Amino acid sequence: MSKVRMLLPIVIGDYTDFFSSMHHAKNCGTIFRGPENPIPQNWFHLPIAYHGRASSIVISGTDVVRPRGQGPPSGNSPPSFGPSQKLDFELEMAAVVGPGNKLGESIDVNKAADHIFGLVLMNDWSARDIQAWEYVPLGPFLGKSFGTTISPWIVTLEALEPFACDAPKQEPHPLLYLEEKISRNYDIPLEVWIKPAKHQHPSIVTKSNFKNLYWTLTQQVAHHTINGCNLRPGDLLGTGTISGSEDESLGCLLELSWNGKKRYS
């Protein structure tokens, strides 16, 4: 295996990234918008997502160039500009679309599993300073689009069947098109390890689990297509950052360091 060069396993036409961990949504909301109403009202009714950039998705091991860009101004000065000072990872998995749907048609939530070929690991690299300044009102753009890393192996949903578990109870009850007969998650322990340049060995920085997701993969597919938008084979649907409720299970440095305020070692 060490002699093999891994390549992207699919041609990715489109990439969408969801926002489906409640803990992550609450923490990001608190950091970016304040503690009053950290989770927006719509979050509990629909799986929120943004459209990502497919061209910069690379395979694990590919160097990612530190992005340059604008950051928030401090006081009356103009916005900052330069290499990002807040480069972050986001612990995610992503679904690879199988057959997909025709333009104008929707995928039924109870049949949506047939449209997911399998899952990969994903890191949605994020420049928090660029993101914090640019995201109002249209959401993430250059703070995310410089790079996204996925693993070369696609684990099929069939292979994950032994790890299937119940999804969390959803309150308020979702609208009919998001209501599923069987609502399933997967018990997949996930870890992030970082090896700083001058260190010999990597250290673990977080331990989370796929089952921390509130919205299921099948609800994401049903919601994505409810307006008739067509998913195509090879499209990538990121789960969103998978944070748990514990301090040790947060899925990015923004949360682990509380936007740089908390020392993380």
Ligand X SMILES: O=C(O)/C=C/C(=O)CC(=O)CC(=O)O
Mark the binding-site residues for substrate, compressed into ranges: 19, 33, 131, 135, 241
How do strand 91-97 and strand 236-238 relate by DSSP bridges?
antiparallel
Instruction: Determine contact, residues 187/163, Cβ cutoff 8 Å.
Output: yes
Does residue 115 carry a catalytic annotation? no
Selected from 24, 115, 144, 184, the binder of Mg ion by CB under 5 A is 144
Select from 20, 148, 183, 249 the one that contacts Mg ion (CB under 5 A).
148
Does residue number 124 form part of the binding site for Mg ion (CB under 5 A)? Answer: yes
Instruction: Based on the shown chain and the rule CB under 6 A, indicate whether residue 220 belongs to the binding site for ligand X.
Output: no
Q: Does residue 32 touch ligand X according to CB under 6 A? A: yes
Helix (H) or strand (E) holding 256: helix 253-256
**Should residue 206 be labelled a site residue for ligand X when binding is judged by CB under 6 A?**
no
Yes or no: say if 178 and 220 are a contact pair by the CB < 8 Å rule. Answer: no
Give me the DSSP letters along 92-103. Answer: EEEEEE-S---T
- Name the catalytic one among 24, 115, 223, 224: 24
Residue of 106, 123, 126, 220 that binds ligand X (CB under 6 A): 126
Residue written as tokens 């990001």? 28
Question: What is the residue whose two structure tokens read 């390890």?
Answer: 193
Residues binding Ca ion (CB under 5 A) = 17, 90, 124
Q: Which residue has the tokens 């070929």?
A: 117
Name the 3-class secondary structure at 43: helix
Q: Using the rule CB under 6 A, which residue among 23, 24, 184, 223 binds ligand X?
A: 24
Phi, psi of 11 (to 5 degrees): -90, 120
* Closer residue to Ca ion, CB minimum distance, 18 or 186: 18
Minimum distance from residue 12 beta carbon to Ca ion (Å) = 15
SS3 call for 92:
strand
Annotated binding-site positions: 17, 19, 33, 90, 92, 124, 131, 135, 144, 148, 241
**Distance between CA 119 and CA 93 in Å, rounded?**
7
Check residue 125 for interaction with Mg ion (CB under 5 A): yes
Q: How far is the CB of 124 from ligand X (least distance, A)?
A: 5
Shortest spacing between CB 22 and Mg ion, in angstroms? 21
Instruction: Give the Cα separation of 5 and 1 in Å (integer).
Output: 8
Are the beta carbons of 97 and 83 closer than 8 angstroms? Answer: no
Catalytic annotation, residues: 24
The contact set with Mg ion (CB under 5 A) reads: 124-125, 144, 148
The contact set with ligand X (CB under 6 A) reads: 17, 19, 24, 28-29, 32, 90, 92, 124, 126, 135, 140, 240-241
